[in-house]
Structure 1
């Protein structure tokens, strides 16, 4: 199987049966899309020069999971030197970025283990909480036939993940206890602030260090863990 790993045979099983909501980051967890977005940030910033483009690319990698809106505001204020982000320049950056990302998101590798994991967790609600633009992400998931996996919805920027968790908790869309699968330090921090269990997914991560004691290679490890907890 393409998603099979050996890590699950070495680590203690993670018992997903105790969680009522499974929350997934998209980039680096569901889709192998981190390299696509890293390059798209670089290309979008090139009109400001190669130094600015490199600076934004590095900032993006250091701050995985944070929305493009924040990152372009950082570019315009901290690198370009604007006191406030110019709305027209910000919009031009957003459009250039989205154009570079779209085709790659439709064709990049999927962690196919999530299809089996969904079958094995009928007790839990599933949702996506991503730094990607919400409307764009929903359309990509629809075109790839993935939207039906996430019965609790697909959510993204411009809201932060903390805002998403807060709003959905208030409407009982997000039921506790919940576990968040992410691939960045920001994901770990967002989970901690919301009092969720966090699992670091490391196979496609661009993070320098795993910010969690709970680590898996990919979602395939969770499939194996579920099998072991039912032995």
Structure 2
């Protein structure tokens, strides 16, 4: 029986991926376009990783420049300001996901474990009017694998009674590390990897 569902946020609850792309292009608009597009490709392939990791990756692995924690935080803060402004619109909510969540949150405990920055994530959930559906909402810079561990431990969740719904290989890795069943969603490349792939939320065997 599924008693707890751990949700990724971007691409699963909020159709925010194109806006995230825009955010990275905006904060790095003064750099070479070719280098920024390399970051966008990395970002799209690693949706579950935090912006802190991606910003560091851009400087150290793409343009080969050093950056300290203050520099990373400065870039992340600028990115967050863009996200708070752009993603507060309910039009970005994925309606089939929200229909499922609003219909079942009183029977199943829901949690968010996201690569989005923690304060921004909570701001958006409250601004969008969906925070009440979740027992806890956790974001980066804590890595997703540690967020899953925190949910399991802090909320007394039996991994055998949990599933994690995500759209990236990073979500899959975090789930498997803690022996939580992974359900892929909104990313066809996960169909051959996850225990189940959600084409419709009727595919989730709740009882």
Q: Tell me the TM-score range normalised by the shorter chain.
A: 0.7 to 0.9
- Counterpart contact for 1:131–1:160, Cα < 8 Å: yes
- Counterpart contact for 2:6–2:164, Cα < 8 Å: yes
Gapped runs of 5+ residues in structure 2? none
* Counterpart-to-counterpart distance in 2, 1:97 and 1:172: 31
Alignment correspondent of 1:31: 14
- The number of residues matched between the two structures is 203
Gapped runs of 5+ residues in structure 1? 1-17
SS in 2 for 1:56: helix
Matched, 1:22 2:11: no
- Counterpart contact for 2:181–2:195, Cα < 8 Å: no
Alignment correspondent of 1:141: 125
SS in 1 for 2:194: coil
Alignment deviations for residues 52-100 of structure 1 (CA, whole Å, 9 cap, x no partner): 21111111011111000000111111123234x2334323321332232
User: In the superposition, relative to structure 1, how do residues 229 and 134 fare at CA in structure 2: closer, same or farther (>3 Å)?
Assistant: closer
Q: Which among 76, 95, 100 is matched to residue 82 of structure 2?
A: 100
Q: Which has the larger radius of gyration?
A: 1
- Counterpart contact for 2:15–2:92, Cα < 8 Å: yes
Which structure exhibits the higher relative contact order, with contacts defined as CA atoms closer than 8 Å and separated by 6 or more residues?
1
The Cα shift of 1:113 comes to 3.0
User: In the superposition, relative to structure 1, how do residues 158 and 175 fare at CA in structure 2: closer, same or farther (>3 Å)?
Assistant: same
- State the TM-score, normalized to the length of structure 2: 0.87
CA RMSD of aligned residues (A): 2.2
User: In the superposition, relative to structure 1, how do residues 229 and 167 fare at CA in structure 2: closer, same or farther (>3 Å)?
Assistant: closer
- Counterpart contact for 1:165–1:174, Cα < 8 Å: no
The Cα shift of 1:40 comes to 1.1
User: In the superposition, relative to structure 1, how do residues 91 and 229 fare at CA in structure 2: closer, same or farther (>3 Å)?
Assistant: closer
The Cα shift of 1:209 comes to 4.9
User: In the superposition, relative to structure 1, how do residues 99 and 116 fare at CA in structure 2: closer, same or farther (>3 Å)?
Assistant: closer
Alignment correspondent of 1:199: 183
